[in-house]
Amino acid sequence: MDQLQQLKQMTTVVADTGDIDAIRQFQPVDATTNPSLLLKAAQDAKYAHLLTEAREWARQHTDTSHSRLALMTDRFGVLIGREISGLIPGRISTEVDARLSFDTQATIAKAHQLIEQYEALGISRDRVLIKIASTWEGIEAGRQLEREGINCNLTLLFSFAQAQACADAGIFLISPFVGRILDWYKQRQPEADFSFEKDPGVQSVSRIYRYYKAHNYDTVVMGASFRNTGEIQALAGCDRLTISPALMQELADNDGALIQRLRPDMESNDSKDVLDESGFRWAMNEDVMAQEKLAEGIRNFASDQIKLESLLGQS
């Protein structure tokens, strides 16, 4: 078997793309999207009919309480999700507008709107994950949504404190960003050896995984944002890994043996700790990398959301 096939035997493989053709080719269990991926899809001619459908739907549903642009972008994301859900057996992750990352109630309201749209299209909520940035406000929104039976994917996760808070909130799944952590360290230490298990992003996900398993948390760990296949190989055995089509192809072209690096019976060096809001904010303040990458990620997703709105707003 090639390494992609081997990986699928020990880890749930998730497609990190909005490209329906790539999902059809690699046959992942789940798929994730974000504003950047949706913007890329919106610029592809093969999705032009979904842009038209989103614009028409928004014209019919705009009222004083909803922006037409916001409705169009939400609808386009849901329509892409609908197409993808027809190709996978598992779940599609759809992201809440990053500009709501510091507003708990607005995030909850947006999640309700997205779920309502999916259910109106015949896609039940148990096939959808609502993606929310791992701010304190986002985690609190996830806590309430989980209680309502709406499962969440807490994304832009860079710190152990974020992972602790998500587990305590009963979040269904987290997406710790491996590659963006590596980017931060490489920028500051360009000559350092960050290969394989020396990769700080790999070390972060491994630590979180061991902590969750040792303390019996049900929250799923899904490594994300990979820069190379070495990071994926070093995390083989993680609950889930969301991988771009290009890296899935590299794995499919590699016939070497893949060793399982993470197992549920692994021990953790971290004692169980429940963070309150002040404890969470202090831990984030002390973690310069996490603080900077979270803020940067929110800004970049918000920027791509605005670009997507501009594209959809063109008649």
Q: The tokens of 284 are what?
A: 């984030």
In angstroms, the Cα distances linking 173 to 22, 126, 245, 298 are 23, 13, 21, 19
Cβ contact 202:179 at 8 Å: no
Per-residue model confidence (pLDDT) at position 174: 98
Which among 67, 61, 33, 37 has a CA at the least distance from the CA of 313? Answer: 67
Per the residue annotation, which of 40, 46, 131, 213 is the catalytic one?
Answer: 131
CATH of the domain at 88: 3.20.20.70
Which among 132, 169, 180, 137 has a CA at the least distance from the CA of 153? Answer: 132
For the stretch 122-133, pLDDT in tens is 999 999 999 999
Helix (H) or strand (E) holding 251: helix 245-252
Which among 206, 262, 261, 225 has a CA at the least distance from the CA of 34? Answer: 225
- Angle, helices 104-120 vs 68-85, to 10°: value is 50
Taking the C-alpha atoms of residue 273 and residue 138, their distance in angstroms, rounded to an integer, is 20
Per-residue model confidence (pLDDT) at position 313: 85
Q: How confident is the model at residue 315 (pLDDT cuts 50, 70, 90)?
A: low
Helix (H) or strand (E) holding 133: strand 128-133
Does pLDDT of 256 surpass 70?
yes
Torsion angle of alpha carbons 197, 166, 181, 258, nearest 10°?
A: 30
Q: Tell me, yes or no, if the pTM score tops 0.85.
A: yes
Cβ contact 96:110 at 8 Å: yes
Q: Give the domain extent around 183.
A: 3-313
For the stretch 153-173, pLDDT in tens is 999 999 999 999 999 999 999
What is the mean predicted confidence (pLDDT) over 283-293?
98
Q: How confident is the model at residue 62 (pLDDT cuts 50, 70, 90)?
A: confident
What is the mean predicted confidence (pLDDT) over 43-70?
87
Per-residue model confidence (pLDDT) at position 296: 98
Instruction: Count structural domains, the chain.
Output: 1
Taking the C-alpha atoms of residue 236 and residue 241, their distance in angstroms, rounded to an integer, is 8
Which among 266, 215, 216, 198 has a CA at the least distance from the CA of 238? Answer: 266
Known active-site residue 307: no
